[in-house]
Amino acid sequence: MYVAIDIETTGLDFVSDQIIEIGAVKFDENGIAEEFSTLVNPNIQIPPEVTRLTGITQEDIRSAPQVYEAAEILKSFIADLPLIVHYADFDIEMLKRRICDLANPHYDTLVLSQIFIKNMRSYSLESLAKNLKLVHDQKHRALSDAKATAALFQLILKEIKNTGVSELEKMNAVLKKSNWYGKNLFMGTGAVSTPVKRQAEQPIAAAAILEKSEKSPAEKKICEALKQNKKTTFELSPRIDAEQNAVAAAEEFAKTSEERVLIAMRWPKNPTIFGKGQYLSVNRFKKFLEKDHFDDKETVFAIKIILWQPDTIIGAKQELNLVREEHSLWEKVCCDDFECPHNRPRQRSMETNCFYNRTLDNMKDKKVWIVSHKTLLGEIDAGDAKLILCDFDEIGESASIALSTVFYSSRIKGLIDNEILRVKAEVLFGLLWRVVEQNTNIEEGKYAEITVNASHKTSPLWQQIKGTALFMEEMIAKEKPNKFLAKLALLIDVILDKNTDHEMEIHRKYSEEIKVVLTPKNLVELTEQKISEACKNPIFIGIFDSADEKIKSEPAPTEIFYLFEDFRKFNRDALFNASANLLQHAIIKNNGRTICVFHSKMALRGAYEAIYEEMKKRGIAIHCQEISGGRGKIIDNYIRNPENSALFILEYYFRQINLEELDFNQIIINKFYSGPDKSEQDFLLDIKKAFNKILSAQKAKRILVLDPFVVPLAEKIKASMVDEIDIRVTKSSQLTFDI
């Protein structure tokens, strides 16, 4: 028998926030045996956002039991039974602080579902319940959440019992060396069946799925440029798929040529190969499993790979559902330049179970390779090949990632085996944290960053940093080389001014984590050199001030972009009110099916709070980033019911999101960033990229741009676009809704 338990609280702060509801159910594999539920008086005000989320009001809890009264009943209910919780890190800690120091064993369905339930965009209880068709009548009410958690755990138990014998043996070998709370679910379990091996999909060239009888104008012109061996710049209509046409042109060219064609994109849909570090090293993982002890995170990480390894064909990280610290653990088991024989031909020929080597071997006879910018700039060698470089306007961002060296303070523990060196590294990052603190005027917990310059290096604090770096330098020289220590040595050299070819940035993130970025000072020249080494006469596809050729789409776009001249006359408060009113009116008139994009968290939250009550009365749900849930959860919820729904997201997430999977016909853009460091040219480019993304989806009939700074640029925006687009400058009072 188990007890699934859930709580609702006034917030997420363990010190100041309080429990307002507790729900629990006793259950086993056959179903629920007993229920417990109570409201709790927190003796503080319930924030409005909590009431909106749970429906629990101040009046509801006025006569509810005090927490100590509820605690006695709860302790009697759960006795010594194991607790089942979704996101135990929060609920268990809050229960310990408010109820009692619970000694019960507990299992976290969030972690377990991430192990056993594949391919979920979100692992929130709400999303899992909907996707797995579990009963979940009242979301964010404790008893309903507890019942859904129980049902989820029952499903997970079935998955555990269906685990193959070989995988269970490997998992038990890890669990014997671990104190992970979940080990008792696996230890001694006998598999009732060996599951049928599932075959993972291999990445396939886009050309393999491109079947059409007539060549597009873009395909013809790209193919002709390949034949002429001429450096050419193309700007395509956003309605023309650059990857699809580039691959089709390359395949056509390859029919009559022996030359290979390399296609590089920012985010290719079907890459031929990933970066080396994206592949599992079977040998390194075997060594990892030989550890004497596994902490909780290492245990979960090892189990994920053990369960995945028999099914994978390509062995790429993208197939795994890794979270947080698991990404740093991956660096201990992925292919690298120190322990893997990729560059040693004799050993490489003997390494038949290396996924990266296998992919390289499979590529030998292919005439068209598709890779990311990062792979192009970082490690691929296509020999004497033609190059089609798509998304050329984004190559700078890709280069800053591919050619920079990045460190995260939170990942130090998982990457350095030597305890003394690890402690010194933690001290070093702590000192770097103080550099940010001393040189910025920010509140605790806020984001900040600095670029280290000569003035920072004259401080007593920097002398402490150099002293720590000198000690680490001596220790690194004595260690066995590996990929991370080589990176760490570069950081030490930069700190000690032995390497002056890199700029050093220190970022203090919201979580108090420190990120250090070392960027080559000659990044532009280095990028040009890398491209030149790949091909002397590349074809560039992207956004240009003056492209050799612009290729329009047929038919022309039908979307209408609205700008509002009356917004230019408003002060800040009047603009906010007018924007909120128009936002609300547009969503209601359109019956949902609207994506709203905000440039800042403050603007997003302000708009959400301004229109929430009216939307609720109208039966329109707002799925709001960071308020309604994480990114995966809000997308899941919107997709299930786009009618009578609006999606509120931040600008950076809008750039990442795949609009093709969303059902919408209206987009509202709150504002573009236009700070003092933004030139008009860069501002126009941001607008153009946003408009291009919208046009590429071919779904929005109406786009409302509420930013008054865009209005005077209407004609320049029109002139910059490849296709002729309909931009209308009007007054908000004159807007009609006739979609």
Q: What percent of the chain has pLDDT over 70?
A: 93
pLDDT at residue 536 in the model: 86
Q: What is the mean pLDDT of residues 667-696?
A: 92
- Beta partners for residue 623, in sequence order: 647
Lowest mean pLDDT among 169-183, 282-296, 314-328, 386-400: 314-328
| Residue 546 and residue 626 in contact, taking contact as beta carbons nearer than 8 Å | no
pLDDT at 413 over 80: no
d(CA 94, CA 6): 11
Higher pLDDT, 705 or 674: 705
- Across the chain, what does the average pLDDT equal? 89
Strands 2-9 and 726-730: unpaired
Token output for 189: 């379990």
Q: Which helix (H) or strand (E) holds 518?
A: strand 514-520
| 89-105 residue pLDDT tens | 899 999 999 988 788 99
| Residue 561 and residue 705 in contact, taking contact as beta carbons nearer than 8 Å | yes
Q: What is the DSSP letter of 328?
A: H
pLDDT at residue 342 in the model: 64
pLDDT at residue 197 in the model: 44
Q: What is the mean pLDDT of residues 185-195?
A: 54
pLDDT at 441 over 80: no
pLDDT at residue 344 in the model: 52
| 117-154 residue pLDDT tens | 988 889 999 999 999 999 998 989 999 999 999 999 99
How sure is the predictor about 229, in pLDDT bands with cuts at 50, 70 and 90? Answer: very high
pLDDT at residue 555 in the model: 86
Strands 19-28 and 31-39: antiparallel
How sure is the predictor about 510, in pLDDT bands with cuts at 50, 70 and 90? Answer: low
Instruction: For residue 437, give Cα distances in angstroms to 262, 430, 464.
Output: 46, 11, 15
pLDDT at residue 188 in the model: 54
pLDDT at residue 99 in the model: 86
pLDDT at 272 over 90: yes
How sure is the predictor about 213, in pLDDT bands with cuts at 50, 70 and 90? Answer: low
d(CA 629, CA 127): 10
First to last CA, the chain: 56
Q: What is the mean pLDDT of residues 625-651?
A: 91
Cis peptide before 48 (omega within 30 of 0): no
Plot region of 324 (φ>0 → left; ψ -120 to 50 → alpha; else → beta): left
pLDDT at residue 659 in the model: 94
| 172-183 residue pLDDT tens | 999 999 999 888
Q: What is the mean pLDDT of residues 232-245?
A: 95
| 625-635 residue pLDDT tens | 989 888 888 99
How sure is the predictor about 208, in pLDDT bands with cuts at 50, 70 and 90? Answer: very low
| Best CA proximity match to 496, nearest among 471, 518, 470, 520 | 470
| 289-300 residue pLDDT tens | 999 999 999 999
Q: What is the mean pLDDT of residues 337-365?
A: 70
pLDDT at residue 477 in the model: 93
pLDDT at residue 509 in the model: 66
Looking at residue 618, its amino acid is R
Lowest mean pLDDT among 54-63, 192-201, 280-289, 394-403: 192-201
pLDDT at 14 over 70: yes
pLDDT at residue 351 in the model: 53
**If you search the block for the tokens 């001596």, which residue do you land on?**
474
Q: What is the mean pLDDT of residues 229-243?
A: 94
Looking at residue 57, its amino acid is T
| 132-141 residue pLDDT tens | 999 998 989 9
- Beta partners for residue 624, in sequence order: 648
| Best CA proximity match to 581, nearest among 563, 617, 606, 556 | 606
Q: What is the mean pLDDT of residues 276-282?
A: 91
Neighbours of 384 (CB within 10 A): 9
d(CA 584, CA 578): 10
pLDDT at residue 191 in the model: 42
Q: What is the mean pLDDT of residues 311-331?
A: 88
pLDDT at residue 354 in the model: 85
Q: How many residues does the chain have?
A: 739
Lowest mean pLDDT among 158-172, 234-248, 376-390: 376-390
Q: What is the mean pLDDT of residues 361-369?
A: 90
Q: Is 558 helix (H, G, I), strand (E, B) or coil?
A: coil
d(CA 553, CA 722): 9
| Residue 583 and residue 656 in contact, taking contact as beta carbons nearer than 8 Å | no
| 709-737 residue pLDDT tens | 999 999 999 999 999 999 999 999 888 76
Phi then psi for residue 98, to 5 deg, are: -105, -25
The string of DSSP codes covering 603-627 is: HHHHHHHHHHHHHHHHT-EEEEBTT
